Structure 1
C-alpha cells in the first residue's frame, strides 16, 4: 500500500550533502528501493510501499548520522549501505581494538590519508580473517578489493606498531604480452609490474611519509623471485596476482613466513598468465592447504566488485560463457568459483580454517 513518510534533518548543510549533486544520491536510492523521495525544506518525504519506506528511512538516517560524524557520503558508500543494509556504526577504533574485532559489525581501517570500510559482507569476512589468521588467501575476480583491503590492513597494522614492516610482492609475469627488454636499473625494470601496489599505498599514506618508509625499508615492494632465501619476521606480507606463481614459487613464498608475521595471498584463477602446461601455484595451494588450522580461504564473486558497475557485468558474462563451455565438455573454462553461501554460514579458520563463502 502506497503512503508517505516524513523525515526531518535539522542541519541543512548536511542535508545538501546527503542529497548529493543535483539530488544524485536520492536518485540512486530511489532506483534501488523503488520509492520516490521529495525534498521539502529540511524535510524529505519518502513515498512508496510501507516496507520500502521503512528501509529507505533507516538508510537515510544512517547516512545522515555518518555525515554528522564528519565522514563522507558518496555513491560508493550508498551502494555499500544498499548491499549490506544500514547498521549502527560505532565510534572510531584504534588499531589495537581492531585486532580484537572479529565478531560481526562494521569495520573501519584508519590509515594516514583515509578511512577504508569493507563494502560487502564478503569483504567484511575477508578483513576479519586478515586480522584473525597468520596466513589468509583472498581469491576472486578483478575489482573485488582483495589487494586493496590487504594493503589497507597492512598499513593499519604498521601504523599501530603491530608489525615492523610491510612487504608487497608479485610475480613479474606479463599479461599475455611479451614486452621484451626493459631499460634501466633493476628497480626501473620491475616497477611497471609493481605499479598496482604503489597505487594502493599512495591511497593510504602521504607521499613524503611513503617515500621515507620505503627508504628505510619499512615498506618494500619486490618481485616474487627476490623472496628466495629470506625469513620474513615481524612483517605484513602480501603476495598479489598469486595465480601467476608456479607451484615451486608458491611453496618457496609460503615458507618465508617468520615469527610475528602475517601473510596474505591474493589471486584470480580466471586470469592465469603462465605458459600453457604450467600449473598455477594458487590452485595447488587451495588443494593442499585447505585443511590446515590457522589458514583461511576467502572467496569473492562478481557481486563483490566495487569498481565500475560494468566490471561486475563483464565478469558475470565471462562466468556464464565458462559455464556453457563446461556444459559442452570443453576444457576452456577458467573462472569457476565456489558458490556464495548465506552470510554467516561459512566455516572459519578454526578446525578446517576456511571461510568458503567469504570475499
Structure 2
C-alpha cells in the first residue's frame, strides 16, 4: 500500500464519521498538514461543525489541530492581530519523556558516530559516548498504561489541591504516545504564561525543600505532617506510610531522601511547555493521527478510569482490521497490544496495524493476505 492507499483509508473514515467541534469553534484557530505537501496550513477558522467537517472531508488532512486559545479573529495571519481572549489550561503527558520499562521490547538506537546499535533507550552511545544517537521509537499498551496512570495522578492533584471539578476536565488520547488533559474553567481562562508555569511546577513537585517537612525528635528525625494535611504535605505523608523503612529511626539525610522519592512517585510527569503556552495548537479530537492512523480519542476522566490501556487502544482503532501482508527489515517485539515474534521478513497483520507501521516509514504493505 502506497501513500495514496492510506489517503483513501483516511478519506473513507471521514466520510463515515463526523468530527465533533471544540467549544466556541468560531473563536478557535485551526491548522492542518497534508499528505502531499510539507509544512502546515495555519490561521484557518470555521463558523460551525458543518464547515469544519466539509473541509476535512474535501482535503483529507494527515494531521489536524486547533488552538487552545480563544481569539476575536482566529483567521488573522498575524498573531498580534488575532485578539487573544484567553485559553484553556492544557497538560500534555507523553511517554517519550518517561523511561518506561517496555522500551527494550520495541525501541532501538544506532550511533551515527561509531555504528553501535541496540534495543531500549540511551541518551548517549554506551560504546563511544557520543550523543549522535538515532532512535526508532514505538508505542505499546504498557507505554499507554504508564501514561494513563500519570493522567490520573494529575487529575487528583488538580481536584484536591486546586479544587477543579472533574466536570471541567476531559482527557484526550493523542492517538500516539500519550494523553492531553484539558481544563475548561472560566476562572482559569485568563491566566498568563507565568501563572501557568507555577501550576506546571506545582503538579511536578518542583521546589519542595525536604528540610521544611522534617522535625527533630529525641529519637532522631520525623516527618512533620499527617495524611490528613492538604497538598503535598499530606500526599507525601500517605506515601511514607507505605514505606516500612520510614517507620524506624532515620537520620536527617535518610528522611530527606525518602521524602524526595515520594515526591518523584507522586508528581505528574507533564511537558511544562504545553501548559505554559497560551497560544498552543493541539490535536483535534475525532481526527486521525497522521503517524499512526489511530483516532484522537476524547473521553471523560471517569471513562479513562474505567478503561485499561488495551481498552483505550481498542477504542482508538478506527481503520479496518482485515489481514494484509507486511514486510519490514527490523520488527519491534511489541507494538500497541500486539506481541511479534523476533524475526525478519514478511508476516500477516491487521490493516490498522500495517498502516501504523507504514506511516512511520518502516514497513511495506504488500497486499491482502
With structure 1 as the length reference, what TM-score do the two structures score?
Answer: 0.24
With structure 2 as the length reference, what TM-score do the two structures score?
Answer: 0.24
The structure whose residues are more often helix, as a share, is 1
